[in-house]
Amino acid sequence: MHKKRKIIHLSIWVTVLVVSLSVYFLVPKYFADDVYPLKYTDWIVEYSTKYNVSPSLVAAVILQESRFNPKAASGAGAQGLMQFMPGTAATMAKETGHWPKYDIFDPETSIEFGAAHLRDLLNKYNNNVDQALAGYNAGTGTVDRWVGLNIFERIINSNSNSETVNYVKKVKHYEEVYRTMYATQLGMKDMTKIELRATTVDQTTAQVRGFVWTQLFNSVFTLPKN
């Protein structure tokens, strides 16, 4: 009788282990698209290729800026998928040949402006992604001042809760996810000539799984603020 109970207990633990592992490995596959959505893939690939920017970076900026909402508008006046201020949008319209008629809320237009703007920033900062992203968020004046004072690396790699530091970290985090999870959809395997990073990050499905679980945990256990 005792031996039978031990076998039952062992069977229960094995079942629990199998179910737990199944949940750990399979749940992210079902929720990844909700946590890290991807839309407008054709335009992201088209304009990333045109302006020689990684499509995973463009997708990551869109996620951070608007979560793929083409009608997004901030209180500061930024608009569209990639959240352009009117002045910057006008500059990009002239640069890309859309001046004077353009609609910044048009997804294709915003994606082209965003890819072109990211390429301008990467050119300005010698393909330094951190500086380019900081410039996208805070403006090149701020980045130039930090670089000039030789404090940029110290600031951007700090534990500061500043908007720009968090922005750079989040976009790079998202870019890793898109590079890993959507490599095929974004045509990443065919864009081996694009040089975007100073160092190559080893992408694994384990990273994506960890990212998704973190987001799911935060979504479930973080109470909304009143």
Positions annotated as catalytic residues are 65
HSE of 160, CA atoms in CB hemisphere, 13 A: 13
Q: Specify which residues 79 forms β-bridges with.
A: 73, 84
Reading the block at residue 114, the tokens are 């965003």
Residue type (1 letter), 139: G
CB 40 within 8 A of CB 185: no
At residue 79, φ and ψ (nearest 5 deg) are -140, 150
**CA atoms of 103 and 143, how far apart (whole Å):** 29
**CA atoms of 83 and 88, how far apart (whole Å):** 10
Residue type (1 letter), 166: N
**CA atoms of 205 and 201, how far apart (whole Å):** 13
Q: Is the peptide bond before 100 cis (omega within 30 degrees of 0)?
A: yes
**CA atoms of 177 and 82, how far apart (whole Å):** 18
Q: Is the peptide bond before 86 cis (omega within 30 degrees of 0)?
A: no
